[in-house]
């Protein structure tokens, strides 16, 4: 009975360009451990790509997450957000905080209020993204090519102080096989651009709401060092549970069993 009481309800939210499909292997591992698992496909992506419109924004995606939690009658939720899902995850948790047991950010972290995901990127990347959108349908950001990047040892030292320059980052695609890359290219769909450019007001989450950051392309020590600078983007990390899972930016594909085991451990803690 004690084991049964310890089981969690996981709501898994993918980052940009992905759908619930990206969590399949992680979900399998969590269900095998006895947890309830609810992978989310956000409006306008994957099997919901036909729902994409210029009006789909961060609030739309926060609504999607809240709907999964409320319609499912879920409580004691471990709300997991990967990458760019950090903003709608925080927005959703703010609205149903009484149902959330813990927030887990996977290779991402909560952004300050009034900061959009695009703002975390360097001006060159921001310009490239806007150009790609303008050359396309005007309201969606195409997926990246998912081409293999140079190995870690050929890259300059990692500097993650905002604005973030991907040229100085570790290999985002580390750990991905050719099969993984082919799957990403085949299944990724354009991201509604308003979800990239729209911030949310600073959430008013309870100060004692447990929060974990799983670090993949950066280390806990790097996060703590950045937090110690007092930079408002990184300062909250000083008070969060930091768990390393060294790999690329897509751990649900590159290390799904390890990610599931770590999430199971976090829920138990």
pLDDT tens string 153-200: 333 333 444 443 434 444 799 999 999 999 999 999 999 999 999 998
Tens digits of residue pLDDT in 9-21: 999 999 999 999 9
pLDDT confidence of residue 232? 80
Tens digits of residue pLDDT in 65-122: 999 999 999 999 999 999 999 999 999 999 999 999 999 999 999 998 889 999 998 9
Beta-strand ranges (E) seen in 161-210 are 191-192
**Pair 125, 84: CB distance under 8 Å:** no
Q: How confident is the model at residue 3 (pLDDT cuts 50, 70, 90)?
A: very low
pLDDT confidence of residue 38? 98
Give the span between the Cα atoms of 108 and 251, in whole angstroms. 12
Give the span between the Cα atoms of 184 and 178, in whole angstroms. 10
pLDDT confidence of residue 235? 86
Average pLDDT over residues 253-266: 98
Give the span between the Cα atoms of 202 and 114, in whole angstroms. 7
Q: How confident is the model at residue 149 (pLDDT cuts 50, 70, 90)?
A: low
Least confident of 34-38, 81-85, 205-209: 205-209
- Residue 44: what are its φ and ψ, rounded to 5°? 90, 5
pLDDT confidence of residue 159? 42
Residue burial 169-184, b: 16+ Cβ < 10 Å; e: rest: bbbbbbbbeeebbebb
pLDDT confidence of residue 91? 95
Flag whether pLDDT at 220 surpasses 90. yes
pLDDT confidence of residue 6? 54
Which residues, in sequence order, are CB contacts of 129 under 8 Å at separation 6+?
118, 121, 141, 193, 196
Is residue 91 reached through a cis peptide bond, with omega within 30 degrees of 0 on the bond before it?
Answer: no
Q: What percent of the chain has pLDDT over 90?
A: 77
Give the span between the Cα atoms of 200 and 114, in whole angstroms. 5
């Amino acid at each position: 009975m004690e084991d049964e009481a310890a089981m969690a309800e996981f709501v898994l939210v993918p980052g940009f360009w992905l759908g619930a499909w990206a969590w399949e292997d992680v979900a399998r591992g969590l269900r095998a451990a006895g947890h309830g698992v609810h992978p989310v496909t956000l409006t306008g992506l994957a099997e919901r790509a036909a729902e994409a419109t210029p009006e789909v924004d961060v609030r739309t995606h926060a609504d999607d997450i809240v709907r999964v939690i409320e319609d499912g009658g879920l409580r004691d939720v471990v709300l997991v957000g990967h990458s760019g899902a950090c903003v709608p995850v925080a927005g959703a948790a703010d609205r149903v905080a009484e149902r959330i047991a813990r927030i887990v950010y996977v290779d991402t972290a909560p952004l300050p209020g009034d900061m959009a995901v695009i703002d975390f990127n360097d001006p060159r990347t921001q310009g490239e993204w806007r150009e790609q959108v303008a050359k396309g349908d005007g309201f969606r950001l195409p997926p990246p090519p998912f081409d293999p990047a140079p190995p870690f040892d050929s890259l300059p030292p990692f500097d993650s102080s905002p604005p973030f320059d991907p040229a100085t980052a570790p290999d985002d695609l580390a750990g991905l096989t050719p099969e993984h890359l082919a799957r990403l290219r085949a299944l990724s769909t354009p991201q509604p651009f308003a979800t990239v450019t729209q911030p949310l007001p600073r959430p008013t989450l309870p100060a004692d709401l447990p929060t974990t950051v799983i670090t993949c392309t950066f280390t806990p020590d790097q996060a703590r060092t950045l937090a110690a600078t007092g930079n408002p983007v990184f300062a909250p990390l000083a008070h969060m549970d930091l768990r390393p899972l060294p790999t690329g930016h897509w751990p649900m594909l590159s290390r799904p069993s390890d990610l599931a085991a770590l999430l199971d451990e976090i829920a138990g803690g």
